[in-house]
Amino acid sequence: MEKELASSSNTNSLVDELAPLRRDMLKFARLQLRDDAAAEDAVQEALAAALTGQKQFNNRAQLKTWVFAILKNKIIDTIRERARSPGTSIDVDEIPEDAYDDLFNEGGFWQNDTRPSTWGDPENSFSSQQFWQIFEICLTRLPENTARVFMMREMLGFDTEEICKELAISSTNCWVVLHRARMGLRLCLDERWFNSENRDA
C-alpha cells in the first residue's frame, strides 16, 4: 500500500514538472511541423511516453533534455508518415535563386556594405532571453519548406541523404535549400540582433 502511494505521488510530481514544459514543446513542434493539430498530437504523445517512462531526474534541465529527445522522435515519425502519403512533393524553390545576389558584386565578392562583419563573442548571446526570441522570429520568417529542411538538418539531426529520401528531393536541391536557409538566418540575426541597436546585451 505504502509502495503504491509512493509511486502515485512520483507520477503526480512528474506531471507537475512536465506541465510548464508543454508550452515550449508545443512551440517547438509547431515550428517544425507548421500544423497545429499535428504539433498538438506530437506533444501529447511525447508527454504520455514521458509519463510511462517513469524515469527519475536530478534537475529540471535533465528532464527537459529527455522530454525534448522524445518529442524530436515523435516529430520525426510525423514527418516520415507525411512523406509516405502519396502526392507529397514539396516546393523547395521558395527562396529564389537570385535572392542573395545583391550581397555580391559582379565578380562575386562581398559588397563593401554587405561584407560579413564580426559578431564578436556570439556565444554570450546564448544567455539572453531576448536573443532567443529573435532567433525564433528569424526561423519563423524562413519560408515553410525551407525551414522544414533546415530544421530537419540542424535540430532533428537528419543527414542530407535522409532528408532527400524523406522529402523526395534531389541532393543538389537539398544543399541549395540549406544554403539559402543559412543565408537568410544569418542575415536576419545580423540585422535584428548583432548589428541592431535594440539589443539589451
Partner 1 sequence: MLNCKKAAALMSQGMDKELGMMQKMSLRFHLMMCSGCRNFNKQMEFLRQGCRKFPQQDN
Q: Give whichever of 135 and 166 is closer to partner 1, judged by the CB atom.
A: 135
CB of 31 vs partner 1, minimal distance in Å: 9
What is the number of other CB atoms lying within 10 angstroms of the CB of residue 27? 13
Residues 124/200, Cβ–Cβ less than 8 Å:
no
CB of 7 vs partner 1, minimal distance in Å: 29
Report how far Cα 91 is from the mean position of its chain's Cα atoms. 19
CB of 83 vs partner 1, minimal distance in Å: 19
Q: Give whichever of 10 and 111 is closer to partner 1, judged by the CB atom.
A: 111
- Distance CA(199)–CA(187), nearest Å, equals 16
CB of 72 vs partner 1, minimal distance in Å: 8
Q: Give whichever of 23 and 55 is closer to partner 1, judged by the CB atom.
A: 23
Which residues contribute to the site for partner 1 (CB under 8 A)?
A: 24, 28, 61, 64-65, 68, 71-72, 103-104, 107-110, 115-119, 122-123, 126, 129, 132-133, 135-136, 139, 151, 153-155, 159-160, 174-175, 178-179, 182-183, 185-186, 189-190
Within 13 Å and on the Cβ side, how many CA atoms surround 92? 22
Burial class (CB in 10 A: 0-12, 13-18, 19+), 196: exposed
Q: Give whichever of 7 and 117 is closer to partner 1, judged by the CB atom.
A: 117
Phi, psi of 110 (to 5 degrees): -55, 140
